[in-house]
Amino acid sequence: MSHNNALLDFENVHVKVEDKEIVKGVSLTIHPGEVHAIMGKNGSGKSSLSNALAGHPAYEVSSGTAFLDGKNLLKMSADERSRAGLFLAFQYPVVIPGVTVANFMRTALKAHRGQDADMSDFRKLFRAEMKELGVSPDFATRYLNDGFSGGEKKRIEILQMAMLKPKIAILDETDSGLDIDALKKVAEGINRFHSDQTGILMVTHYQRLLDYVKPDFVHVMIGGRLVKSGGPELALKLEDRGYEWVEAEMSQGSGK
Amino acid sequence: MAGDTHKRKNDVASINEDYATKYGFHDPVDYFHKGAKGINHKVVEMISKMKKEPRWMTDRRHEALDIFLAQSIPKWGNTKVLSEIDFDNIYYFMKPIEKQQDSWDDVPEYIKKTFDKLGIPDAEQKFLGGVSAQYESEVVYHSMQEELKKQGIIFLDMDSGLREHPDIVEKFFGTVIPAGDNKFSALNSAVWSGGSFLYVPPGVEVKAPLQAYFRINAENMGQFERTLIIADKGSRVHYIEGCTAPVYSTNSLHSAVVEMIALEGAYIRYTTIQNWSRNIYNLVTKRSQVHKNATVEWVDGNLGSRLTMKYPCMQLVGEGAKGEILSVAFAGDDQHQDAGSKVIHAAPNTSSRVTSKSISKGNGRSTYRGLVKVHKNATNCKVSVECDALLIGEDARSDTYPTMEVDNDQVQVEHEARVSKVAEEQLFYLTSRGLTEDEARLLIVNGFMEPFTKELPLEYAVELNRLIELEMEGSVG
């Protein structure tokens, strides 16, 4: 059952992609105000977990339970999850030709609010958020992710998060492809968004985003399982020593 | 009358239910001169006589009819659907009782209501240079601003054009599209009625777009409007026409001819959106002749119909002539949009650009059929053709038949063709932002059409988006 007042709470989640099990029983509870990080190498299953939680139809949750703010996540479609307060910042944001960032943003806000946003309120908010993220105003009229650099795409993801104000944000490799300035801007954006009402789950290979967005909990994912959890110091240790020592610990553990 | 209306409503409801609620509107019209079905020399004589036409036009009609009767239907394109047309079961002429109107106040209320649904009054108030709206086979409302008259611009329905300016009409009529061009241009030349006649004198710039709306509104009625646009030397004009059709049970034929002539240094933009009801065969011939340093831009949107065959053609006949065709076709269930373009480079330093976008949904089918011909003397030409097809659903179909005939080697040619599907990744991205799948698909389609839509005046863009939204409803699966 759902934990009291948890924003995101999932238990023993298994995820299949094309009938192959990628995530093999993962449990996590995120309360309001908490920042969690799942760290793992490529292929560890962390992006599959993110996609499955956001409702990607190709990622099937074959068993387990998941609740978003007390509601059964697994019974909701991707758009219902979004409107219920879940946000996924994509590792590879998708190009939508011919749809401007501003038009897309208004359409998404309308979907969330059930009515058109007031045009001048929208503009004010949108411009302010773009400015905060160091996004040039001409991006408003550019086609969504079309010809954007990696860093620009990630900033636009964070811009969307800031505008949609989810309860829980899953950030899938948001730091990848960013130079240090872009990384700082993105991190500032995440920190501005975060409050004691919101939860964040960062999914990352590297520790460097965690220098700027401080996690309360760090989890290590290997082979589709969360094998180790700890505080921020765990991330530093991973950065310092790589994932091998965790793997070594595991095999020792299983050898006993 | 009430009983008649009631019966018609039932007809509409029983035929094509969801379409009726979407676009189905038609008003009771008392058909005075409904004539008989079928086509022969007697009908042609009657049409010409009723219009009190000069003898040369009557003779041309008869000649055209002979050509029509002698020619078989095209052996290419969707021959299966073409062969469904029963030419003996079509009215070739009719005329509503309402006489042509001079002012908006005199326009009957039911016509205004129809215009309301098309959003015309707004357009009228905002920027109209002049409105001529064809209702049935003849123009019933025509307003022309004083300013147009002062500038010497002639903007009339084609019948009035022939009556009032026979010299200009005789000089240009049928010079770009002769009756014998194809079976359907022959038919139009024999039985044409209505359409627009536009002449812009040398050096005159028409600031606001000129608009005309066409509709078909009689069961089994063929509509054969004829449009002739002449932009004299150094003049500029933007002409717009749009159509929506009410719903009827039996198949109907629309076969228009549009001829445009841009004389030296002139500029014509021709914008059209056609949205025919799903039972209509839309077989039109449209062509422009572009003289020295003149420019013609063609913005052409095609929705609806059972079958559309339409290939706007540009003949670049003078040195430095430029032509551009931007088109969109939307093929929904049981529809075939066979559209494309023809560009003939017949002079040096001419350039053309064709951008063709098509959307096929459900079991809809779209075909791009294009020809670029560069003559031997047409050196230093630039040719660009881009075809972009979007498929929605597993049964949607798109075919591209581009033909290039280049007879000299001093030509720069670019050609690109793409077929894409609405990708699952795009849908997931948009739904993960809270849009339903339908909303996501609609946004993707609107984005795909954006290069076209942004060329339209605002009202048209809004209307087109609304039509697409209706077409896209419940498109899942």
Q: Which residues of B touch A104 (CB under 8 A)?
A: 430, 433, 443
Q: How far is CA A52 from the centre of its chain?
A: 12
Mean pLDDT of all residues in chain A?
92
- Look at residue B120 in the predicted model and tell me its pLDDT: 45
Q: Which of A159-163, B264-268, B301-305, B425-429 has the lowest mean pLDDT?
A: B301-305
B88/A contact by beta carbon, under 8 A:
no
Lowest mean pLDDT of A9-13, A231-235, B259-263, name the range. Answer: A231-235
Asked if the structure places residue B353 within a domain, the reply is yes
How many percent of chain B have pLDDT more than 70?
76
Quickly list H helices, B2-93.
2-15, 17-23, 41-50, 55-70, 79-82
Higher pLDDT, A166 or A42: A166
What is the per-residue pLDDT for B144?
A: 54
Q: Which of A17-21, B17-21, B244-248, B288-292 has the highest mean pLDDT?
A: B288-292
Is A164 close to B433, i.e. CB distance below 8 A? Answer: yes
Last residue of a domain, one of B385, B405, B423: B423
Q: Look at B77 and B190; give whichever has higher pLDDT.
A: B190
Q: Is B28 a residue whose pLDDT tops 90?
A: no
Q: B426 to chain A: nearest residue by CA?
A: A94
In a domain, B14, yes or no: no
A184, A102 contact by CB (below 8 A): no
Q: Do residue B318 and residue B442 come from a single domain?
A: no
Q: Is B434 on the interface with A (CB under 8 A)?
A: yes
B431 close to A (CB below 8 A): yes
For B444, the closest of A82, A87, A96 (CB atoms) is A96
Q: Is B446 an interface residue toward A (CB < 8 Å)?
A: yes
Nearest chain B Cα distance for residue A8, angstroms:
16
- Which of B107-121, B239-253, B420-434 reaches the highest mean pLDDT? B420-434
In this structure, are B463 and B314 located in the same domain?
Answer: no
CB–CB of B433 and A96 under 8 A?
A: no
Asked whether B49 and B31 are in contact (CB, 8 A), the reply is no
Whether residue B363 contacts residue B394, with contact meaning beta carbons closer than 8 Å, is answered with no
B359 contacts chain A (CB < 8 A):
no
Q: Specify whether B112 is located in the same domain as B174.
A: yes
The whole-number pLDDT of residue A241 equals 86
Cross-chain residue pair B447–A96, CB shorter than 8 Å: yes
| B443:A164 CB<8 A | no
**Whether the predicted pLDDT of B1 surpasses 50:** no
Q: Does B15 touch chain A (CB under 8 A)?
A: no
Are residues B235 and B210 located together in one domain of the fold? yes
Per-residue pLDDT, B475: 47
Higher pLDDT: B416 or B14? It is B416
DSSP string, A151-182: HHHHHHHHHHHHHH--SEEEEESTTTT--HHH
* Same domain as B411, residue B337: yes
- Winning range, highest mean pLDDT, from A56-60, A113-117, B139-143: A56-60
Does residue B251 share a domain with residue B152?
Answer: yes
- Average pLDDT estimate for B58-67: 97
Instruction: Give the pLDDT of residue B345.
Output: 98
pLDDT-derived band at B211 (thresholds 50, 70, 90) equals: confident
Class of domain A8-255 (CATH, top level): alpha beta
HEC letters along B442-462: HHHHHHHHHHHHCCCCHHHHH
* C-beta of residue A30 within 8 angstroms of C-beta of residue A201: yes
Of these ranges, A246-255, B284-293, B300-309, the one predicted with the greatest mean pLDDT is: B284-293
Residue spans of the domains in chain A: they are 8-255
Show residues of chain A in contact with B426, CB under 8 Å: 94-96
Mean pLDDT of chain B: 81
Residues of B in contact with A77 (CB under 8 A): 431, 437
Shared-domain flag, residues B370 and B476: no
- For A94, the closest of B425, B434, B436 (CB atoms) is B425
Stretch B36-44: mean pLDDT: 88
Residues of B with Cβ-Cβ distance to A88 under 8 angstroms: 432
Residues B62-71 as b/e (b if ≥16 CB within 10 A, e otherwise) read ebbbebbeee
CA distances, B353 to each of A243, B217, B265, B383 (Å): 57, 36, 18, 6
pLDDT tens, position by position, A123-139 = 999 999 999 999 999 99
- CA B392, CA A224: separation in Å to the nearest integer? 35
Q: Which of B90, B319, B132 is nearest to B239 (CA)?
A: B132
Both B294 and B337 in one domain: the answer is yes
CA distance B373 to B368: 16
Distances in Å between the Cα of B246 and the Cα atoms of B151, B332, B460 are 37, 17, 19
* Cross-chain Cβ contact A78/B446 below 8 Å: no
A205 DSSP assignment: S
pLDDT at B344: 97
Residue B97 neighbours by CB under 8 Å, 6+ apart? B29, B30, B32
Contacts 24+ apart (CB under 8 A), B107-115: B107/B140, B107/B141, B108/B140, B110/B27, B110/B28, B111/B27, B111/B135, B111/B140, B111/B141, B113/B25, B113/B27, B114/B25, B114/B26, B114/B27, B114/B215, B115/B213
Phi and psi at A165, nearest 5°, equal: 50, 65
In a mutational test of the B interface, the residue from A107, A110, A165, A168 whose CB has the highest number of chain B CBs within 10 Å is A107
pLDDT(B218) > 50: no
Which pLDDT band holds residue B458 (cuts at 50, 70, 90)? confident
> Are B383 and B445 contained in the same domain?
no
Residues B313 and B346 sit within 8 Å (Cβ to Cβ): no
Q: Which helix (H) or strand (E) holds B169?
A: helix B166-172
CB contact under 8 A, A111 and B433: yes
Nearest-5° angle of CA B74, CA B80, CA B82?
50
pLDDT at B21 over 50: no
Q: Which residues of B341-362 are buried (b: 16+ CB within 10 A; e: fewer)?
A: bbbbbbbbbbbbbbbbbbbbbb
What pLDDT is recorded for position B135?
41
B404-408 mean pLDDT: 92
Check residue B173 and give its pLDDT: 97
- Closest-CA distance of chain A to residue B332, Å: 21
8 A C-beta contact, residue A196 and residue A206: no
Which run of H or E residues covers position B199? Answer: strand B196-200
Cα–Cα nearest to B308, from B401, B184, B418: B184
Query: pLDDT for A61-81, tens place per residue?
Result: 999 999 999 999 999 999 999
- Asked whether residue B11 is domain-assigned, the answer is no
In total, how many domains does chain B have?
2
Poorest-pLDDT segment among B121-135, B160-174, B234-248, B360-374: B121-135
Does residue B29 belong to the interface with chain A, where contact is any CB pair within 8 Å?
A: no
Cβ-based neighbours of A163, under 8 Å, separated by 6 or more: A105, A108, A109, A125, A126, A129
Residue B17 lies in a domain: no
Is B178 in the A-facing interface, judged by CB distances under 8 Å? Answer: no
Give dist(CA B319, CA B313) in Å, integer: 17
Our CA angle for A215, A218, A219, nearest 5°, is: 150
Same domain, B455 and B392: no
Cβ contacts (< 8 Å) between B425 and chain A: which residues?
94
Quote the pLDDT of residue B377.
Answer: 94
pLDDT at B437 over 70: yes
Query: ipTM value of the model?
Result: 0.96
How confident is the model over B234-281, as pLDDT tens digits?
999 999 886 554 444 354 788 999 999 999 999 999 998 887 777 789
Q: Is the pLDDT of residue B130 over 60?
A: no
Q: Picking from B82-86, B163-167, B257-261, B308-312, which range would have the lowest pLDDT averaged per residue?
A: B82-86
How far is Cα B432 from Cα A157, in angstroms, rounded to an integer? 12
* Mean predicted confidence (pLDDT) in A165-185: 92
- Interface touch A99/B449, C-beta < 8 Å: no
pLDDT, residue B291, reads 98
Averaged pLDDT for residues B140-158: 72
Judge whether B23 and B276 are in contact, CB under 8 Å.
no
* pLDDT surpassing 60 at residue B126: no
CB within 8 Å: A57 and B428? yes
**Count of beta carbons in the 10 Å neighbourhood of residue B157:** 26
Q: Where are the alpha helices (DSSP H) in chain A?
A: 46-54, 78-83, 101-113, 119-132, 150-164, 180-193, 232-241, 244-255
B434–A164: do the CB atoms touch at under 8 Å? Answer: yes
Within a domain: B7:
no
Average pLDDT estimate for A43-64: 96
User: What are the tens digits of pLDDT across the range A177-186?
Assistant: 888 988 999 9
The span from the CA of B448 to the CA of B206, in Å, is 31
My answer on whether B394 and B434 are in the same domain is no
Backbone angles phi, psi at B5, to 5 degrees: -60, -45
Best mutation target among B431, B438, B444, B465 (most A Cβ atoms within 10 Å) is B431
Q: Is the distance from CB of B157 to CB of B138 less than 8 angstroms?
A: yes
Q: Residue A118: which residues within 8 A CB-CB, separation 6 or more?
A: none
Give the domain extent around B52: 27-423
Which tokens belong to A167?
A: 């309860």
> B432–A78: do the CB atoms touch at under 8 Å?
yes
Which DSSP letter does residue B205 get?
B
